[in-house]
Amino acid sequence: MRCVTIVENELVLAERETPVPGPLDVVVSVRAAGLNAADLLQRRGFYPAPPGWPVDVPGMELAGLVTAVGEAVHEPLLGRRVCALVGGGAQATHCLVPSEHLLFLPDHVAWSEAGGFAEAFTTAHDALVTQGELAAGERVVISGAAGGVGVAAVQIARALGAEVAAVTRDDAHHAQLRELGADQTITLEEVDALRDVDVVLELIGAAHLERVLPRLARFARVVVIGVGAGSRAEIDLRLVMASRARVTGATLRARGRDEKTVVLERVANTLVPRWRTGEVRVPIARVFDLDQVSEAYAYFAQPGKFGKVVLRVDD
Amino acid sequence: MRCVTIVENELVLAERETPVPGPLDVVVSVRAAGLNAADLLQRRGFYPAPPGWPVDVPGMELAGLVTAVGEAVHEPLLGRRVCALVGGGAQATHCLVPSEHLLFLPDHVAWSEAGGFAEAFTTAHDALVTQGELAAGERVVISGAAGGVGVAAVQIARALGAEVAAVTRDDAHHAQLRELGADQTITLEEVDALRDVDVVLELIGAAHLERVLPRLARFARVVVIGVGAGSRAEIDLRLVMASRARVTGATLRARGRDEKTVVLERVANTLVPRWRTGEVRVPIARVFDLDQVSEAYAYFAQPGKFGKVVLRVDD
C-alpha cells in the first residue's frame, strides 16, 4: 500500500505492506481521509499514536470500502461503504480498522465528505452529549466553531434543541455558521456580552476559556477539547465555585477499544440517521490528493478555513 | 438577645430582638458557635449572607437547646440538644434555624465541640462524597488539612476507606493528622511526589491546586472549596484533558433550603452515628467567650491552628 509517513517532522509518501486484519478487524481500502489538529501535533512529535496503531502513519479518520474481513467477524462487511475512527494510519490507501468502529455511509454522501465525518462528529458528540450533558433548551457556546469539530458541534447542538452561540474570528464564517444552525455568531470579544451559558465546548483554549468563565450559568459544564490558542489558562476559582461549574475535557484518541465502540454506537444511532436525511452534513474547506499531503497540512495549519480538510485517496 | 454584629468591618456586641420562629422554623438558645473562613470574608464585606438571613450578624454553625418551635413543626423538638447549619446569625445568644436543618447531638459531646461540627462536617461531606464521589480504596489529597474543614475531611475520607494524604504547612500537625486517620502527612512541596490522585479536596486554593494537577489519576475529581492561598490558578488544560479530570467546586451557604436539607440528611445518616461512637470528633483549636469575639477572629485569621475555633455563648 501507499501511505503518508512522518520522517523527521516531514510528510513523505512511502510503500508499506498492506495490513492483514486481525480476527475482529477489517481492512478498508481508503477513498478519503480527513485532517485533524492532532495530525499537526503528531507531525511535530507531540502526540504519538496510542499503542497498537501505526507509529509513523498519521490519520485518525477515513472513508472507503471494506476489502478484507477478520475471521471472527460474522457481519457481512465485505464491500460495504464505511467511514471510521482509527488511532492512526488513515492517511494511506489501506487501513486496519476494528470492525466495531465502522459507520455505514448514507448512499448520497460523497467520499470526501465521508472522509471528514468520523473524528469530527464523534469528538463533538462525545464532548457535547456525553461529557457536557447538553440538553434541549440550554445555551451552548462553541469556540473555534468554523473548524472541523466546530461545524459538527454546531449542527449536533442545534439538532439537540440547544440555543447555539458560535464563536469565530472570521467575518466570512458568520453566515455559514448560521446556515448550519447557529442562533448567534460572535467574535471572541463579544463573548463578554453572553449570559447564563450552560455548556461551553472549548475548541481553542485559554484565550476563549478565560473570557467565557464569568458568563456561566449555575451548574455549567465546560468541556475542553482543543487548546490551540493556549493551554495555560488563568482561572478564577471563585467563578467555578460561584457557578458550581464543572470543568472537564478529554480527547478520543487514547481511549480503549471498548470505550470507542460505545461512542461510535451513539453516533450511529443518533447522528448517522440525521446525516442520511441531510439534517447534518460535513462542510468541506478543501480537498487535496494524497500526494499533495504537505500542501494539505500547510493549508490546514492556516486560519480562515471553514469545515474539514480532506485527502482524496485513489486506489 | 445579644449578638455579634458587623459595623464598618468591626465586630461589635449588640442587643437585638430575639427571633420568633416561622411556621417551619425553630429558635435555638445558642451555647457555642464555630468560626469559619466565610466569617472573615463577611466581616470585610465580601461575602454577604444569602437572602432571608441576618445581614450583619455573622456565624454559620451553632449548637444549643431548642427553645421555641414553629406552629407547623410536628416533631417534639423543644428542649432538644442540637447543632445546626445556618445562613447567618449563629454568633448570638439565639438563632433562627429551619427545623429540617437540625442535627441531634450525641450525649457525650461537649457544647464547644458541637458548636464546631455542622458547617465543617457538612461542607467536607458534601465536597468529598457528593461532589467528589470519593470511593473506598481511592487516594484523596486534602490541602489545608489542619483547618476546621480539613480535620473533618480527613476523618470522613478515612471512614469511607480512602487512602488519605493530608497537606499541612505546620510540622506540629503531622502527628495530629495521623491520629485522625491520615495515612500520609506532607508539606506543599511534597505534593510533587504524589501519584495517581483520585480526589483533591482543595481548601487553600491556587498555590496547592497548581502543584497537584500534574499528579492526578485518570477520571480524578478536583473539588475547590477554599481559595485563601489564591483564587487565580494557572491551569494547564492539557493536564485536565490527559487525566480526563473534572474540576468543580461549590460552597454550601448560598444553596436553597431544600438542597441543604438533603446535605444535612446525609450527614445525619452517615456521620452523626460515627460521632456518637467516637469514630469522628471535632478537634478544637481554642474556645473564646462571645465578648472576646474580636480576639477570636484575630486568632482564627492566624496560621498554625489545629481544628476549630469556637465561641462559647452563655445564656
Which pLDDT tens digit goes with each residue over B226-256?
Answer: 998 899 999 999 999 999 999 999 888 889 9
Strand partners, A223: A201, A248
Phi, psi values for residue B79, rounded to 5°: 85, -5
pLDDT digits (tens, 9 = 90+) for B16-35: 999 999 999 999 999 999 99
Q: Is B259 on the interface with A (CB under 8 A)?
A: no
Q: Are residues B111 and B259 in the same domain?
A: yes
Instruction: Answer yes or no: are the C-beta atoms of A183 and A165 closer than 8 Å.
Output: yes
Output the furthest CA–CA distance in chain A (Å, rounded): 58
Q: Are residues A135 and A188 in the same domain?
A: yes
Q: Is B245 on the interface with A (CB under 8 A)?
A: yes
What is the count of residue pairs from A and B with beta carbons less than 8 Å apart?
Answer: 76
Question: Regarding beta strands A284-289 and A308-312, do their DSSP bridges make them parallel or antiparallel, or are they unpaired?
Answer: parallel
Amino acid (one-letter) located at A6 = I
Helix (H, G, I), strand (E, B) or coil at A216: strand
Q: State the cell numbers at B182.
A: 491520615
What is the C-alpha separation between A21 and A26, in angstroms, rounded? 5
Kindly report the pTM of this predicted structure. Answer: 0.94
- Residue after which a domain boundary falls, among B249, B269, B291: B249
User: From the list B209, B232, B238, which residue is nearest A231 (CB)?
Assistant: B238
- Residue after which a domain boundary falls, among B194, B220, B249: B249
pLDDT band per the 50, 70, 90 thresholds, residue B157 = very high
Q: How close, in Å, is residue A189 to chain B by CA atoms?
A: 21
Q: Who's near A308: CB < 8 A, 6+ residues apart?
A: A34, A35, A115, A116, A120, A148, A151, A282, A283, A284, A285
Q: How close, in Å, is residue A143 to chain B by CA atoms?
A: 15
Q: State the cell numbers at B57.
A: 450578624
Query: Among residues 146-205 of chain B, which lie with CB inside 8 Å of chain A?
Result: 202, 205
pLDDT in the model for residue A254? 82
Q: Who's near B176: CB < 8 A, 6+ residues apart?
A: B146, B283, B306
pLDDT higher than 80, residue B224: yes
What is the C-alpha separation between B236 and B86, in angstroms, rounded? 37
* Eight-state DSSP code of residue A48: P
Q: Are residues A60 and A160 in the same domain?
A: no
Q: Are residues A113 and A144 in the same domain?
A: no
Strand ranges (DSSP E) for chain A? Answer: 2-7, 10-15, 25-34, 61-69, 81-85, 94-98, 102-104, 139-142, 163-167, 184-186, 197-202, 216-224, 232-236, 246-249, 284-289, 308-312
Q: Are residues B195 and B141 in the same domain?
A: yes
* Eight-state DSSP code of residue A180: H
pLDDT digits (tens, 9 = 90+) for A255-290: 999 999 999 999 999 999 999 999 999 999 999 999
Q: What's the number of domains chain A is made of?
A: 2
What is the C-alpha separation between A169 and A187, in angstroms, rounded? 5
Phi, psi values for residue B116, rounded to 5°: -105, 10
**CATH number of the CATH domain containing A60:** 3.90.180.10
Q: Are residues B161 and B211 in the same domain?
A: yes
pLDDT in the model for residue B80? 98
Q: Are residues A110 and A128 in the same domain?
A: no
Strand partners, B140: B164, B199
pLDDT > 90 fraction of chain B, expressed in percent and rounded: 92
Q: Are residues A24 and A36 in the same domain?
A: yes
Environment class of A8 (CB within 10 Å of its CB; exposed 0-12, middle 13-18, buried 19+): exposed
Residue B206: list chain A partners with CB under 8 A. Answer: 237
pLDDT band per the 50, 70, 90 thresholds, residue A251 = confident
Q: Are residues A108 and A17 in the same domain?
A: yes
pLDDT higher than 80, residue A191: yes
Q: Which domain holds residue A8?
A: 2-117+253-312
Over range A157-174, report the average pLDDT. 96
What is the C-alpha separation between A177 and A184, in angstroms, rounded? 9
Phi, psi values for residue A160, rounded to 5°: -80, -10
Residue B225: list chain A partners with CB under 8 A. Answer: 241
Q: Is B67 on the interface with A (CB under 8 A)?
A: no
- Residue after which a domain boundary falls, among A222, A249, A276: A249
Instruction: Answer yes or no: are the C-beta atoms of A101 and A86 closer than 8 Å.
Output: yes
Q: Are residues B169 and B223 in the same domain?
A: yes
User: From the list B224, B245, B246, which residue is nearest A237 (CB)?
Assistant: B224
Cβ of B244 within 8 Å of Cβ of A250? The answer is yes
pLDDT > 70 fraction of chain A, expressed in percent and rounded: 100
pLDDT digits (tens, 9 = 90+) for B100-117: 999 999 999 999 999 999
Phi, psi values for residue A5, rounded to 5°: -130, 155
Q: Is A241 on the interface with B (CB under 8 A)?
A: yes
* Eight-state DSSP code of residue A147: S
Name the H helices within chain A. Answer: 37-43, 111-115, 118-125, 148-159, 173-180, 206-212, 237-243, 257-270, 272-277, 293-301
Helix (H, G, I), strand (E, B) or coil at A185: strand
Residue A217: list chain B partners with CB under 8 A. Answer: none
pLDDT in the model for residue A314? 87
pLDDT band per the 50, 70, 90 thresholds, residue B305 = very high
Mutation test of the interface with chain A: which of B240, B243, B252, B253, choosing the one with the most A Cβ atoms within 10 A? B240
